[in-house]
Amino acid sequence: MAVPVGGARRVGRVSLKPREVYAPVLASGAVLSLVCSALNVPGRWTLPGMIALLPLIALVARWSPPRAACVAGCLGVAAAAWWPVAQLLSGGPWSWLELAGAALFWVLFAAGAAGAGLYLRRQAALARRVVREARRQQQLELARDLHDFVAHDVTAIVVLAQAARCVASRDPEQVLPLLERIETAGQSALASMDRTVHTLRMAGGGPTAPTPGLEALEELVGRFEGGLLDVDAEAAAALSREADTTAYRVAVEALTNVRRHAHGATRVRVVVRGVPDGTELSVVNDAPPRGSRRGPLVRRLSGGTGLAGLRGRVEAVGGVLNAGPGEAGGWQVSAVFPDANPSRT
C-alpha cells in the first residue's frame, strides 16, 4: 500500500524514549514488591528490588507526565512503606509503634527520592521559563531595531516621493536625483531587514551581523539633504560597543523625527564631541519655514516607539537623553554617554 508523501508512518515498530518507560517500570516494580511482601518472600531476595525502586521514584518525579508520575509514585511509596512491615510481621510480634516507625523510615527514603526528582523538575521548568523570556526579550529587541533602522529609510522614501510628485510638473530634471535617493533609501531599508533576518536565523549561537555604530554616521547623514556631520574621533573611540550602537540609534531616530515632524527643515547638524561627563551626540535641526505642512503619508507614519523608547536604551548603557527646542527655533536631541575609558581627558 502506498503512503502519501508527508504522511509516512512506522508500522510494527514502536519508538519509545527512556523517560516514557520510567512510570510503567516503577508501577510494575511496586506491584511486584507488594505481592512478594504479601507472600512473605525473604527480605534477602526483595531488598535489592526495594533499593532499586528509590532511584526509579526520583526518575519518575523528574521526567514522567504528572498523572502517570502520581500513580506510579503512590505505588512506589506504598511498596516502600509495606515492605519493612511485612518483614517484621514474618519474624514475630511487634508493637504498632515499631511497625509504624519502620514504615516511616522507608517512606522518608522514598519521599527524599521523590523530592530530589521534583526539585530537578522545577529547576528545569525555571530554566525553560528563563529561555522563553530571553527569546521574548530578543524578539522585542529585534523589533525595536527594525523600527529604529527601517523607519528612517521608509520615512525618507515617503518624503522624497512627495517631493518628486511636487516637482515633476515644474522641473522634471529634478525627478531623477530624487528617484536615485529613493532607491538608495530602499536599499538601506532592505539591508536593515536582511540584517534582522540574519540575526534571527543565527540566534542559535552562530555569529550574527554586527549592529551599526558611529562609524556609519557619515553614510546616514549623507542621505539627509542639508545634513552636516562633525565627529570627534577620539570621543567616538572612547565609547563602549553598547554605547556606540545606542548612539547610532539615537541619531537614526532623531533624523527620522526631523523628516516626520519638521517637514521643510533645510539643515540638520549631527555632532559627536567629548564633554566632561563622557561623549555627547547631538542632533539639531533648524526651524521649518512658516506654513510648511507634513504630507498625508508622513502624518500616517508619525507613530512609533520614538524618543520614549530611546530613553530606556540610553539609560541602560549609563547615559542621559534630553530633547527639546533648539536655540535657533528648531529641535535638539542630545545624548551623553559615559566613556569606556574614564581616564580620558
Residue for grid cell 522634471: 172
Task: Determine how β-strand 268-275 pairs with β-strand 227-231.
Answer: parallel
- Which of 50, 58, 60, 51 shows the shortest CA–CA distance to 25? 60
Using alpha carbons only, give the angle 21, 24, 29 rounded to the nearest 5 degrees.
Answer: 120
Per-residue pLDDT, 157: 79
- Which of 213, 157, 164 shows the shortest CA–CA distance to 185? 157
- 239 close to 342: Cβ distance less than 8 angstroms: no
C-alpha cell at 195: 540584517
- 115 close to 77: Cβ distance less than 8 angstroms: no
Strands (E), the chain: 227-231, 268-275, 278-285, 320-325, 331-337
3-to-6, 7, 9, 14, 193 alpha-carbon distances in Å: 9, 7, 8, 18, 41
Task: Give pTM, 2 decimals.
Answer: 0.47
Q: What span, in angstroms and rounded, lies between the C-alpha atoms of 341 and 258?
A: 32
Write the CB contacts of 38 (distance below 8 Å, at least 6 apart in sequence): 86
Per-residue pLDDT, 134: 80
What is the separation of C-alpha 281 from the centre of its chain, rounded to a whole number of angstroms? 28
Query: Average pLDDT over the chain, rounded to whole?
Result: 79
Q: Which residues of the chain have pLDDT under 70?
A: 1-18, 138, 142, 145-149, 152, 192, 194-210, 262-264, 288-307, 328, 341-345
Per-residue pLDDT, 306: 60
- 320 close to 314: Cβ distance less than 8 angstroms: yes
C-alpha cell at 190: 532592505
- 69 close to 42: Cβ distance less than 8 angstroms: no
Q: What span, in angstroms and rounded, lies between the C-alpha atoms of 5 and 2?
A: 9
Label residues 127-149 b or e (16+ Cβ within 10 Å = b). Answer: eeeeeeeeeeeeeeebebbbbbb
Q: What span, in angstroms and rounded, lies between the C-alpha atoms of 82 and 44?
A: 16
Using alpha carbons only, give the angle 285, 287, 291 rounded to the nearest 5 degrees.
Answer: 140
Name the residue ranges covered by the structural domains of the chain.
18-129, 210-345
Which overall architecture, per CATH, does domain 210-345 show?
Answer: 2-Layer Sandwich (3.30)
Using alpha carbons only, give the angle 117, 118, 119 rounded to the nearest 5 degrees.
Answer: 90
Per-residue pLDDT, 310: 79
